[in-house]
Chain A
Amino acid sequence: MSNLLVLPILIPLCTAVILIFFKEKTRLQRGISAVSGVLNILIALLLVARVHAEGIQTLQMGGWAPPYGIVFVGDMFAVLLVTMASVVSYAILLYSFHSIGEKRERFYYYTFFQFLLVGVYGSFLTGDIFNLFVFFEVMLISSYALISIGGTRLQLRETSKYLLINIVSSTLFVAAVAYLYAAVGTLNMAHLSQRISEAGQGGVLNVIAVLFLIVFSLKAGLFLFFWLPGSYSAPPAAVRALFGALLTKVGLYAIIRTFTLLFVNDPGFTQSWIAWMAAVTMILGGLGAVAYKDIPRILNYNVIISVGFVAFGLAAGTRDALDGTVFYLLHDMLAKGLMFILGGIIISAAGTDRLNSMGGMIKKYPVIGWMFFILTLALVGIPPLSGFAGKVLIIRGALDTGMLTLSLIGLGSSFLVLYSLIKVFRQAFWGNEPENEQPKVSLKWPSAVAGGLLVLVIAMGIGAEFVLTYVSQAGEVLASPVQYIEAVMKKE
């Protein structure tokens, strides 16, 4: 037992509270959030090292033994996601300094930013299903504020849709918790897993499993993603990057956690639901990415494709595929964060988000152009880069279980990713410059941030062997939930 586990939540929480007092002093706000971001990355790395050396870490809140109290569980999967989330959010924070603007900064932008991180880290680390709901709400309420801050007409319109869909899904979440509590009488995830296994996951538990799947799919944009392309187009680029990199991943994390820990006893039934949802998500996301001609929407549909791909890895469910899912999820947080930052840079350089009115930017901004090109290759999964290892493992796992159609759809979706992003590259960077000359804007700072992330993308691809030692430790726990249960329910 160690208090280290609560620090990833405590640090942004305290930072957020402190930031409230310095509303007008934007430089001070930036300084404080930058320092706390570094602290969080260090703590997360320390946690990874600790979990790697000693196995799953648990922390009982207030010393109450599970299942009676709330317990925080740091297995490798959770702490890896916390690490990646802290790195990506730090890059987005640095990008915000440049791009978000004085007006929004004065209205508690950094406070909401930190509260969003509290919700994200909390969702990753909690071991209690109702506590997961509360952390979801912490995250969502901050995201409501971030999506509407600034109050343009577009933002107001999209916020009310985003708000409605999330209220409905949160309501369903509470209903699902109520049913689960009635069925098995506990809320702690490890204990739930034991009880569900004892009850054998017959009729009513399968219904509850599907209800949870619907709830988390609404949050993650798996199949039920109709709200996502519009909502994620409304806020400024930095917020969009934060949402695209973190929010849907939390929903995915919840799906993976629920279906590898709780509802594991009737895999034929639940896996087939996840499998066809993943297939439809990849196809529809791919079609959307190809269809549109404005940058925010193309990028948003790319988020949807990767959500489908992660769910596909979960549906395959072999050890290989689970390793691949964890690897791909980590890569995707990093690469999607970078993709939205680069998208934001392109939009601010071109002064428009329409592809048709862009062109010839490679002369003015060669570095950004080639960074976007390398990122595209990484997202598609070209070997030396980070997208490759995860995709290979998932496809291999899927072929082992005989999911040929799904594997083909997964591979096909990579082509649509390639086509849609190369379309952006070709339209924005090649060709002739548009008639009305754009003034050259200084992009040194955001380019440096993007460059830092790109280095990580490349490093994660080249050092895949090294990353995989950690990732396979995460996959091991996902594949055999007994380890998780024993770590939490141990007698002390």
Chain B
Amino acid sequence: MELVMAVAVGILFTIGVYLILSKSLLRIVLGTSLLTHGVHLLLMTMAGLKKGSAPVLGSADTYVDPLPQALILTSIVISFGVTAFYFVLAYRSYQALGTDEIDSIKEDKE
């Protein structure tokens, strides 16, 4: 199971990196959110995907590891906040600079 997940994470990273290297700012933002998806799945996979019940105290014998779930939850809200900021920034620069192309907003001195 871990192998399948590792391949899936690899694919997410590949697409994310490819999108980040593209020209349009919107694609870059999408690329970063794919990267964070990849890394959250990685966090879950690396902690082990053994069978067990959900980490809610009951009468089960084994539970899955609760720690990575807490880490992922933290990381999700952080990346959510940052992505929201990035989208607004992209929108604002589209308004102010009038372009979505990352090449055409290169440094020209004001």
Contact = CB atoms under 8 A, between A and B. Distances in A.
Overall SS of chain B's interface = helix
Contact of B78 (A137, A153, A175): A137
Interface residues of A, number: 30
B96 A163 contact: no
Interface string B83-94: 001100110110
Nearest to B25: A160
B3 to A, nearest CB: 14
A230 interface: yes
A156 B96 contact: yes
B82 A141 contact: yes
A230 B45 CA distance: 37
Contacts of A159: 89
Interface stretch (A177-185, A220-228, A263-271): A177-185
Interface in B33-90: 35-36, 38-40, 42-43, 45-48, 67-68, 71, 74-75, 78-79, 81-82, 85-86, 89-90
A174 B36 CA distance: 9
Given A156-B97, A157-B107, A134 B78 contact: yes
Nearest to A163: B86
Interface of B: 20, 25, 28, 32, 35-36, 38-40, 42-43, 45-48, 67-68, 71, 74-75, 78-79, 81-82, 85-86, 89-90, 92-93, 96-97, 102, 105, 107, 110
27 contacts: A137-B82, A144-B82, A148-B89, A151-B92, A152-B110, A156-B92, A156-B97, A160-B25, A160-B86, A160-B105, A163-B82, A164-B20, A164-B28, A167-B82, A168-B32, A170-B82, A171-B32, A171-B36, A174-B39, A175-B42, A178-B39, A178-B45, A178-B46, A181-B43, A181-B46, A181-B47, A181-B67
- Minimum-distance CB pairs A-B, first 7: A182-B46, A178-B43, A178-B46, A156-B93, A167-B32, A174-B39, A171-B35
